[in-house]
Structure 1
Amino acid sequence: MFKVALIVGSVRRDRNGIKVAKWMEQKLKERGHEVFFIDPMELNLPLLDRMYKEMDNPPENLKKLRQMIVDADGYLPITPEYNHSTSSAMKNTLDYFLEEYFFKPSAIVSYSVGGFGGVNAAAHLRQILSEMGTPAISSTYPISKVQTVFDDNGRLLDEKHDKRVKRFLDEFEWYMEAMKKQREKGTPY
């Protein structure tokens, strides 16, 4: 159906976000989507020195990342909240590119160990994504007390999320379809 770049926002050793990411990957695949699983820890991304387009000889891991970003119909960043913001790993992963994101939607998933589900990180990430040309859908998907939602193997423990995620992904699909049709007609620039 669609190609979705799922972007993991944490590189911590004992990260909860990988559980969220694998669950979201499963939900997207159940709907027939192809998922590009972008994990900055696996890609071993260096700190940004210059944007991809400015590199004379980009490393293979960045070539691979760029291809996933270009091929995607939409982006699903999964961000933790660190100090009321998104993570440096998320920002570093996103900032290698710009034009590659244009005119494709994003849908933000945020999480925290506290009761607010990373909503501050989601709000900050929404500003960043908008500036980068990938507008975020109006809904976000915050997950509060993430450590109680999944077991150590990433299995969902709180079934209310299976019901809630449907509406979120329905909206994301609507935007991916609408924006893909418009891109096929041509873009403003």
Structure 2
Amino acid sequence: MSNRLLVLYGSYRSDRMGIRLAHFVVDGFRARGDDVELIDAKEVGLPMLDRMYKEHPKGTAPAALEKLARQIREADGFVFITGEYNWGVQPGLKNLTDHFLEEWFWRPAAIASYSAGRLSGARAATAWHGTLSEMGMVVVSSTIAAGPIAHTLSAEGMPTGDGGNALQAAFPRFADDLTWWMEAARTQRARKPPPY
């Protein structure tokens, strides 16, 4: 059985480099036979958080929120593609994530980070661990990181140079870790309802 996976990306910049990592991750999981969809916060275009999805009376949420809530509920797991802005998380991805809460519960998430520098977004990845855990996701321990991203992945998301080779070598463990947790969580949800 293939896993249903959402890859979430949040840069709003005009010259976005992180989309390279998003494509790399999408292609990698698709090659393993998973059903993968890229959720691009810029394309979804949610407003700055005023009301969470659950705060709209049933049937009155904006169409983009309704669609995304369904996609999140139907997913077996998530990969968050995060850049680093001033040692922190990207506001576009955080805003998209914060529109929901219970929809994320009882599924695993993995973090893939990037930056223009040598730290590869590691500080943002660390910040996301606590946020995603608080939002009801199990965050897997395996991560991947691309940096400097312009020298690690081509515009099409293909690995280049030593950094790209390292990223490609790290991907199988990253994918195996998330896959194990997606299968475990799906089995447990089928066996017994979550406690809340």
2:44 matched residue in structure 1: 43
TM-score (norm 2): 0.93
TM-score (norm 1): 0.96
Greater share of strand: 2
AA in 2 matched with 1:25: V
Alpha-carbon RMSD: 1.1
1:109 matched residue in structure 2: 112
The aligned runs of 1:119-138 (5 Å cut-off) are: 119-138=122-141
Q: Which segments of structure 1 move beyond 4 Å, counting only runs of 4 or more? A: none
Q: Give the match's secondary structure for 1:136.
A: strand
Tell me how far 1:155 sits from its aligned partner. Answer: 2.7
2: CA distance between counterparts of 1:153 and 1:13? Answer: 16
2: CA distance between counterparts of 1:61 and 1:183? Answer: 27
2: CA distance between counterparts of 1:39 and 1:10? Answer: 8
1:145 matched residue in structure 2: 148
Identity, in percent, stands at: 39
Q: Give the match's secondary structure for 1:179.
A: helix
Q: Give the match's secondary structure for 1:35.
A: strand
* Greater shift in the superposed pair: 105-114 or 178-187: 178-187
* Greater shift in the superposed pair: 70-79 or 58-67: 58-67
| 1:169 to 2:188 alignment | no
1:183 matched residue in structure 2: 189
1: CA distance between counterparts of 2:4 and 2:85? Answer: 29
Q: Give the match's secondary structure for 2:139.
A: coil
* Greater shift in the superposed pair: 147-156 or 72-81: 147-156
Gaps of 5+ in 1: none
Instruction: Report how many aligned residue pairs link the two structures.
Output: 189
Tell me how far 1:64 sits from its aligned partner. Answer: 1.4
Gaps of 5+ in 2: none
* Match for residue 94 of structure 1 among 97, 103, 106: 97
